[in-house]
Amino acid sequence: MKNSVTIGLLSLAMSAGAAVNTLSVDIDKPGAEISPTMYGLFFEDINFAADGGLYGELVKNRSFEFPQNFMGWKILGNVELKDDGPFERNPHYVHLSYPGHAGRLTGLENEGFFGIGVRAGEEYRFSVWARTTDSDSAKITVQLVDKSSPRTNPLLASSTITIKGTEWKKYTVKLSPDQTLDKATLRILLAKPENSVDLEHISLFPVDTWNGHENGLRRDLAQKLADIKPGILRFPGGCIVEGADLPTRYQWKNTVGEVENRPLNENRWNYCHNNRYYPDYFQSYGLGFYEYFLLAEEIGAEALPILNAGMVCQYQNRPDDQLPLDSIRPFIQDALDLIEFANGDTTTTWGSLRAQMGHPASFGMKYLGIGNEQWTEIYPRNLEMFISEIRAKYPDIKIVGSSGPKSEGKEFDYLWPEMTRLGVDLVDEHFYRPEEWFLKQGARYDSYDRKGPKVFAGEYACHIKDRKENHFRPAILEAALMTGYERNADVVRMTSYAPLFAHVDGWQWRPDLIWYDNLRSMPTSSYHVQKLFGNYRGDNVLSLTMNEKPVTGADGQNGLFASAVADSNSERVIVKVANTSYDPQDITINLRGEKHKFDSCKIISLTSGDPLAENTLDEPDKIAPESSLHQFNGDNFDATLPGNSFHVFIFSR
Ligand code: AHR
């Protein structure tokens, strides 16, 4: 029996003589295993993704360690900066004292990250390290205020803390604003002007963080990550790994232990290609390696840390301006210690720190990337030393090497054979490429050596020329590329779109997967594509042909890219089809084989009549997948796919 279905915006019947594209799936012959790590996430602190984004902290420059110590703060009355505080790696704090005469106030206001987003009725945990300096006790008033417009009562929430004694102690209080505001200000005042206090590490978090952790993550953003059902979480970057220079490289050891004592680091993205400059972009490291491992565990992903290969960023420095080989031992030690931090038992130095931080059980880390985007022979030279020491001590750790910043060409052609020679387990490939490139990648992995290192497509996104936005068209091209990953799941074992996050008020790079302001967040079309692949990964590739030829999206295949997988747990067959042409395409999905007979087909479609359409924070669901359920009583399923669309067909019993 024939089923015929029309999907999406167009209502076209199959016309006589129209090209029919028959996708034949051999359902009885499961092929390569699809790695559970196949569809993952790339996290980097770019576009205010950590501080000001996923990390729940709402106070900017909470420890007064920015080079301009009061950046983000407004001073009221008599506030002095001091530098002999209780946290040796963040020594600055403030001393608040009598403002000069009784009618004045002493205090501070913090502007947050593009303002402080608060919701009516929700609770916010304010905390501060404090001591009195001239009496047994002193009071401070903590307020959330609306300074955006002249109002009779700009106060959203207020509370008082009594500070007792001259020893440093942590004080907390919960604030419940009575109104929702995306750009509130935090104000701290000496309640009695004649008192004086010292304040350090002034912090404000929503109580309702992801999984309720106190040093936690913004819940809506973490939930969006979990919803993808990612197989890996790559962190902390990206170019962040190298920093702007060696001193500002990402050093994981600075990101663990008590948050108050994690030293500030400059963010390599504090300037950018778009002539925007963010002098206030630093890494507090409140979201550090412990928090990344925990996040990975809680969203069901394998952790994939990437460490510096003992190299300076080659984009920002002369490519050969590198450390001599005999100086890279500390970098290798960092890698060995990281494995101990993640997996070592609690009697080890680093395993014991993990336990003190709240996770005595091993994180079960299996993968480690060395180097991000490097080229020249210095990279394989260094990597060889890392591999030899890591393998000697931790032979089960899978090592990820890099093929450089480009999708092909001189550096790529040099590095891939080098990675094979060194015997890395996976090679990280990066593609920020235009539409035309994506359309030619259908057969990219067909010719890869099946016996060599596997592929980690670790950063990719379709960048349409002169229009680097998150509109609909690039998402369809990404879906097309991903069908090629899936058909070649024996070679491609991990993938991640990049970058992941962007704050609408402070981005340096686009397109990105998820956008947000201080209160709202929205998925892009590309996010929906990632989520569909993550949620309908399947576990074995099924052989698929189009009109009896391999599916490559080549000429004669009408812009169609497709893959088919078996999901053995649920006994489903899943076929994904991207129609990259602007014309509707008739397809027949022909399920060949005796093993299963299916009686329903659910179709999830991502369509838009406008290739330039995009979701916004005001219209976050303008583009969203739509589902329909159809009966299916035979071997063939017919459908007409609108031009520029992506579909997941799920055949079930
Ligand atoms: O994703 C943004 C940047 O692109 C990454 O930091 C880097 O690896 C690549 O060049």
Alpha-carbon distance 320 to 27, whole Å? Answer: 52
pLDDT band (50, 70, 90) for residue 271: confident
pLDDT band (50, 70, 90) for residue 16: very low
Q: Which atom of ligand 1 is nearest to the CA of 237?
A: 6
Q: Are strands 600-606 and 645-652 parallel, antiparallel or unpaired?
A: antiparallel
Alpha-carbon distance 539 to 269, whole Å? Answer: 38
What pLDDT is stored for residue 595 in this prediction?
Answer: 64
Q: Is the CB of 49 under 6 A from ligand 1?
A: no
Q: What is the average per-residue pLDDT within 164-171? A: 97
DSSP 246: G
pLDDT band (50, 70, 90) for residue 205: very high
Q: 101-105, 158-162, 418-422, 615-619: lowest mean pLDDT where?
A: 101-105
Q: Is the CB of 499 under 6 A from ligand 1?
A: yes
Q: Is the CB of 236 under 6 A from ligand 1?
A: no
What pLDDT is stored for residue 135 in this prediction?
Answer: 85
pLDDT band (50, 70, 90) for residue 650: very high
Inform me whether the pLDDT recorded for 13 exceeds 60.
no
Alpha-carbon distance 572 to 584, whole Å? Answer: 27
Q: Is the CB of 459 under 6 A from ligand 1?
A: yes
Alpha-carbon distance 372 to 242, whole Å? Answer: 8
pLDDT band (50, 70, 90) for residue 601: very high
Q: Is the CB of 373 under 6 A from ligand 1?
A: yes
Q: Which atom of ligand 1 is nearest to the CA of 315?
A: 10
Q: Is the dihedral of CA 544, 550, 554, 557 positive or negative?
A: negative
Inform me whether the pLDDT recorded for 653 exceeds 90.
no
Give percent of the chain with pLDDT exceeding 90: 86
Q: Is the CB of 238 under 6 A from ligand 1?
A: yes
pLDDT band (50, 70, 90) for residue 6: low
Inform me whether the pLDDT recorded for 648 exceeds 80.
yes
What pLDDT is stored for residue 597 in this prediction?
Answer: 80
Residue closest via CA to ligand 1's atom 1 equals 499
Q: Are strands 20-33 and 540-546 parallel, antiparallel or unpaired?
A: antiparallel
DSSP 271: B
What is the gyration radius of the CA atoms in the chain, in angstroms? 27
Alpha-carbon distance 590 to 3, whole Å? Answer: 11
DSSP 385: H
Q: How far is the CA of 239 from the centre of ligand 1 (A)?
A: 5
pLDDT band (50, 70, 90) for residue 277: confident
548 is catalytic: no
Q: What is the average per-residue pLDDT within 198-221? A: 98
DSSP 642: P
What pLDDT is stored for residue 10 in this prediction?
Answer: 39
More confident residue, 619 or 556: 619
Pocket test for ligand 1, best of 44, 234, 406, 497 (most atoms within 8 A of CB): 44
Residue type, 26: D
Q: Which atom of ligand 1 is nearest to the CA of 269?
A: 6
Q: Is the CB of 460 under 6 A from ligand 1?
A: no
pLDDT, averaged across the chain: 94
Q: Which atom of ligand 1 is nearest to the CA of 405?
A: 10
Q: How far is the CA of 218 from the centre of ligand 1 (A)?
A: 23
pLDDT band (50, 70, 90) for residue 150: confident
What pLDDT is stored for residue 532 in this prediction?
Answer: 98
pLDDT of 365-378, one tens digit each?
999 999 999 989 99
Q: Is the CB of 371 under 6 A from ligand 1?
A: no
What pLDDT is stored for residue 18 in this prediction?
Answer: 57
What pLDDT is stored for residue 7 in this prediction?
Answer: 58
- Angle, alpha carbons 40-369-430 (nearest 5°): 60
Pocket test for ligand 1, best of 45, 242, 306, 372 (most atoms within 8 A of CB): 372
Residue closest via CA to ligand 1's atom 7 equals 238
What pLDDT is stored for residue 62 in this prediction?
Answer: 98
Inform me whether the pLDDT recorded for 562 exceeds 80.
yes
What pLDDT is stored for residue 19 in this prediction?
Answer: 66
Alpha-carbon distance 374 to 406, whole Å? Answer: 10
Alpha-carbon distance 508 to 318, whole Å? Answer: 23
Inform me whether the pLDDT recorded for 17 exceeds 80.
no
- From 111, 200, 242, 373, active-site residue: 373
Q: Are 182 and 117 in contact (CB under 8 A)?
A: yes
Pocket test for ligand 1, best of 283, 430, 462, 514 (most atoms within 8 A of CB): 430
Q: Is the CB of 237 under 6 A from ligand 1?
A: yes
pLDDT band (50, 70, 90) for residue 322: confident
What pLDDT is stored for residue 14 in this prediction?
Answer: 45
Q: How far is the CA of 220 from the centre of ligand 1 (A)?
A: 24
pLDDT band (50, 70, 90) for residue 497: very high
pLDDT of 215-264, one tens digit each?
999 999 999 999 999 999 999 999 999 998 999 999 999 999 999 999 99
> Among residues 154, 125, 157, which one has the least CA distance to residue 144?
157
Query: What residues contact 318, with CB distance under 8 A and at least 6 apart?
Result: none
Q: What is the average per-residue pLDDT within 536-561? A: 93
pLDDT band (50, 70, 90) for residue 193: confident
Q: How far is the CA of 45 from the centre of ligand 1 (A)?
A: 10
Q: What is the average per-residue pLDDT within 77-91? A: 98
What pLDDT is stored for residue 12 in this prediction?
Answer: 38
pLDDT of 431-490, one tens digit each?
999 999 999 999 999 999 999 999 999 999 999 988 778 999 999 999 999 999 999 999
Q: Is the CB of 509 under 6 A from ligand 1?
A: yes
Q: Are strands 3-6 and 636-641 parallel, antiparallel or unpaired?
A: parallel
Give percent of the chain with pLDDT exceeding 70: 96
What pLDDT is stored for residue 4 in this prediction?
Answer: 53
pLDDT band (50, 70, 90) for residue 15: very low
Q: What is the average per-residue pLDDT within 553-571? A: 91
Entry pTM: 0.96
Question: For the chain, how many helices (H) and strands (E)?
Answer: 9, 35
pLDDT band (50, 70, 90) for residue 9: very low
